[in-house]
Structure 1
Amino acid sequence: MQAMQRDDVVFHYGRQYLRAISRVTAPWVAAPRPPGYPKIRSGDLDEGWLVRVEPVVTELSIGFDELRDVVGSGPGRPFGKDGRPAQKYLSTITEAEAATLLDRIGAAAPGLVESADLMSLPLQTDMPIRGTARVEQAELRRHLLRSRSEAPCAVCRRVLPASLLVAAHVLPRTLLTDSERMDFEHVAVLMCVLGCDALYERGYLTVRDKQVKIGRPADTPAVADSVGALVGSSVEPVSFQQESLFAEHASLHLGGPSRRTFKR
Structure 2
Amino acid sequence: MATWWVNQQRTFDQELAAGILWAPKAGRNGRRQAHWTTMTEVRLGDTVLHYARQHVVALSVVTAAAVDAPRPNDLQSDWEEDGRLVRVAYRQASHPVHREEIPEAWRTGHSSPGGPFKKDGGVNQGYLFRVNEDFGARFLDRFADRFEDLPVALPAEAQDSATNLLRRLLGQDIFTMTGKSNRILDVQPPYARVATERSPDGQQVSIAEVQLALDLLRAHGQVPIHPNEIGHRSSFIGAVLLTLPGAELIEGTPPCVAIQPPGVFDVPENADYSLNFEGDLNRPVTAAQRREQAALRRALLGSATEAECSFCGETYPVRFLITAHIKLRSLCNDDERLDRHVAMLACQFGCDVLYETGYISVASDGKIVTATSAAEGALASQLTRLAGRACGSFTERSRNYFEWHFSNRFRG
TM-score, structure 2 normalization: 0.32
In our comparison, the structure showing a higher alpha carbon Rg is: 2
Higher relative contact order (CA 8 A, sep 6+): 1
Q: Which has a greater percent of strand? A: 2
